[in-house]
Amino acid sequence: MSLKRHSKKKILKVLATVLIVVLVLSVVLLCLYMWEKKQGVYPDRGTGLDDTLEYNGEEYTLRKGIETFLVLGLDKFEDAIDNSAYTNDQQADFVMLFVIDNNNKSCTLLHINRDTMLDMNILGVAGEKVGSIKQQLALAHTYGSGDQVSCRNTADAVSKLLLNAKINNYASVTMDAVPLYNDLVGGVEVTVLDDFTGIDDTLVKGETITLNGEQALKYVQSRKGVADSSNESRMARQKQYLEALNNKTRECINSNDKFVFDACVKMSDYLVSNCTVSQLQNLFNKISQYEFCGIRYLEGESVAGDRFMEFYPSEESVKSQVVSLFYDRK
């Protein structure tokens, strides 16, 4: 009799555990469903590159199988834009374009200086154009009402910069997500490039360290009081960190089929995208499995503006990168 009672208790315990798992999974799926509904589906940004072009006396044709994914790292802007319809205090401090070549199974990153000066739209609360202005690229996000509207405005600005290249997908992540994602991959190892004295004494120039979440945020975000306080110095640290983070992400995806799904769940409060979770998982899988061809920059000149630094990319550098990333020689 006692054995039967024990067996019954064991069965009830197992059933209770299964029920809890089902409930937790249901909540997770509901959260993802609500997140995806909030994202929406939007068409590609940009009118598209010309099918053919001439560069340095040679003919080029548009490469097939190219897919682009724009990633924005958002931070607070000291002077919020207030156009009477909305107030937005977020700027894109970090701008990275993933160029994915599905035919050659490769992925190249274009790290775009957030101080890049270009013409951008000023948007109303419904996303309609109400004006234009020449400003730093970072502020294209600020001249929209936030979320999808601001992401699309930034994607449009990047498309114009790159001769109307299409931006197929995008995602913006607040910088608050950096510590979370850093710790999700188990920390990221770097050799500290600059002196962080007074900001974080654990970041000693020249030492190799596995960054925890808090250290990672300071490493990629800090600008004033580090090195020459320029965005170029910060971009060098971001490049170094991203290359190491990319390697850790590849390891996590290859060792855990659920990594992208779990990451999306944990980062959903920080993330805005025109992609569904399944689309994001597909993009991450490609990025992790395709050959990584490095991080590129646009060359140009940085000058001190009236209030902020301004970066002017050279036309030659822009065209050279566009040709290299999107075209094949005839």
Q: Is 8 exposed, middle or buried (0-12, 13-18, 19+ CB in 10 A)?
A: exposed
Q: Which of 291, 247, 39, 266 is nearest to 147 (CA)?
A: 39
Same domain, 167 and 299: yes
Same domain, 19 and 110: no
Full DSSP string of 272-329: EESS-HHHHHHHHHHHHHSEEEEEEE--EEEEE-SSSEEEEE-HHHHHHHHHHHHEEE
Q: Print pLDDT tens along the chain (330 aa).
A: 454 555 555 554 444 444 444 334 434 444 444 444 455 545 566 668 999 999 999 999 999 999 999 999 998 654 444 455 556 778 999 999 999 999 999 999 999 999 999 999 998 877 888 899 999 999 999 988 888 899 999 999 999 999 999 999 999 988 888 999 999 999 999 999 999 988 999 999 999 999 999 999 999 999 888 988 888 999 999 999 999 999 999 999 889 988 988 888 888 888 889 988 888 889 988 988 899 999 999 999 999 988 889 999 999 999 999 999 999 999
pTM of the model: 0.80
Same domain, 148 and 98: yes
Same domain, 122 and 157: yes
Same domain, 129 and 17: no
Q: Is residue 320 part of a domain?
A: yes
**Three-state SS annotation for 85-105:** CCEEEEEEEEEEEEEEECCCC
Q: Are 80 and 89 in contact (CB under 8 A)?
A: yes
Same domain, 143 and 64: yes
Q: Is residue 321 part of a domain?
A: yes
Q: How far is CA 52 from the centre of its chain?
A: 29
The CATH number of residue 303's host domain is 3.40.630.190
Q: Is residue 90 part of a domain?
A: yes
Structural domain of 147: 51-171+291-330
Q: Is residue 254 part of a domain?
A: no
Q: Is residue 273 part of a domain?
A: no
Q: Is residue 276 part of a domain?
A: no
Same domain, 58 and 144: yes
Number of domains the chain contains: 2
Same domain, 80 and 157: yes
Q: Which of 148, 141, 94 is nearest to 121 (CA)?
A: 141
Largest CA distance in the chain: 92
- Euclidean distance between CA atoms 169 and 301, whole angstroms: 29
Same domain, 115 and 94: yes
Q: Is residue 303 part of a domain?
A: yes
- Cβ neighbours of residue 17 closer than 8 Å, sequence gap 6 or more: none
Cα distances (angstroms) measured from residue 229 to each of 89, 205, 211, 214, 218: 22, 15, 21, 20, 13
Same domain, 87 and 116: yes
Same domain, 2 and 147: no
Q: Are 68 and 82 in contact (CB under 8 A)?
A: no
Q: Is residue 250 part of a domain?
A: no
CB atoms under 10 Å from CB of 317, counted, come to 14
Same domain, 118 and 11: no
